[in-house]
């Protein structure tokens, strides 16, 4: 199975331009699964709820999901990417999953970071896993990494690969995701962005790049530079994530001491 990420510098509010950039770049790529950053077509640094509302899209009818659906068909690939979603009078920081077979579903970010808490509603979908044939893929968005329960829940639900659209600004996640993958025996694909935003007198947000693919044994298979565009595809064997045996005595998920863990 060929999996990858596309790390680039989206421009705030320029949805069509950002979608064109993605379509052009992915037109040169062959893979089964491609992960794009969080809010990859809208940009990240919103200044108000009104701004979020203006850029939020319905799913799957909105332009971002429709463009991803076209790309998925043309390129015969599955895509996971983040967008601001409008649903039932609320806006969510969401990620959609699409494939050549059509729209598969949406995940709404559970753990909102910093000023996202002002503008978005906390996700209500729970952590979801989709069987795309070559693998079972789970989705979480950026700051969800800080809550180990997110990756663990995806692993318990059978995810082989955790797709992780991100807009990281703090330095810790790339190394921490190695542990998330090791402790759950899953692949992790973190698709981060590069560049910076400093809109409306707000503090400058510098995105750290370093998108990466990690193996279920905690091996860093590839990490992107901090400040350069990078599209990367690697061959992986998703079956590696299904063997949860750590040694003849320890089975990763079976040996959890649920009786000792707080709910």
Judged by the rule CB under 6 A, the positions of this chain that interact with ligand ACM are 38, 113, 142-143, 167-169
Least distance to ligand ACM from the beta carbon of 197, Å? 12
| 109 annotated active-site | yes
Least distance to ligand ACM from the beta carbon of 98, Å? 22
- In three-state secondary structure terms, 89 is coil
Least distance to ligand ACM from the beta carbon of 200, Å? 18
Q: In the chain, how long is the greatest CA-to-CA distance?
A: 58
| 38 annotated active-site | yes
CA distance 224 to 166: 13
* Nearer CB in complex with ligand ACM: 60/195: 195
Least distance to ligand ACM from the beta carbon of 120, Å? 11
Assess whether the previous peptide bond of 60 is cis (omega < 30° from 0): yes
- Does an H or E element contain 92, and which? strand 90-99
| 142 annotated active-site | yes
**Which position has the token pair 């068909």?**
73
CA distance 30 to 45: 31
Of 31, 57, 85, 109, catalytic: 109
* Nearer CB in complex with ligand ACM: 38/85: 38
CA distance 194 to 192: 7
Of 142, 163, 173, 181, catalytic: 142
CA distance 2 to 230: 16
* Nearer CB in complex with ligand ACM: 30/117: 117
What amino acid positions are annotated as catalytic residues?
38, 109, 142
């Amino acid at each position: 199975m060929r999996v990858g990420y596309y790390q680039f510098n989206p421009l705030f509010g320029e949805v069509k331009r950002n979608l064109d950039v993605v379509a052009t770049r992915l037109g040169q790529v062959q893979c089964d699964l491609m992960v794009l950053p969080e809010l990859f077509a809208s940009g990240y640094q919103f200044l108000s709820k009104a701004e979020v509302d203006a850029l939020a899209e319905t799913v799957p009818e909105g332009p971002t999901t429709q463009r991803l659906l076209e790309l998925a068909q043309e390129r015969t690939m599955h895509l996971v990417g983040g967008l601001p979603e409008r649903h039932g009078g609320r806006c969510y920081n969401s990620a959609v999953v699409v494939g050549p077979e059509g729209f598969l579903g949406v995940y709404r970010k559970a753990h909102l970071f910093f000023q996202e808490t002002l503008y978005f509603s906390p996700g209500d979908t729970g952590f979801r896993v989709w069987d795309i044939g070559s693998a079972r893929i789970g989705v979480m968005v950026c700051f969800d990494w800080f809550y180990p329960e997110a990756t663990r829940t995806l692993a318990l639900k059978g995810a082989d690969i955790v797709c992780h659209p991100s807009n990281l600004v703090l330095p810790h996640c790339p190394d921490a995701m190695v542990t998330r993958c090791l402790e759950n025996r899953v692949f992790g694909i973190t698709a981060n962005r590069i560049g910076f935003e400093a809109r409306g007198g707000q503090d400058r947000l510098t995105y750290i790049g370093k998108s990466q693919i990690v193996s279920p044994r905690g091996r860093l298979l590839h990490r992107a530079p901090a400040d350069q565009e990078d599209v990367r595809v690697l061959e992986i064997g998703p079956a590696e994530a299904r063997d949860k045996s750590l040694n003849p005595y320890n089975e990763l998920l079976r040996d959890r001491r649920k009786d000792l863990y707080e709910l």
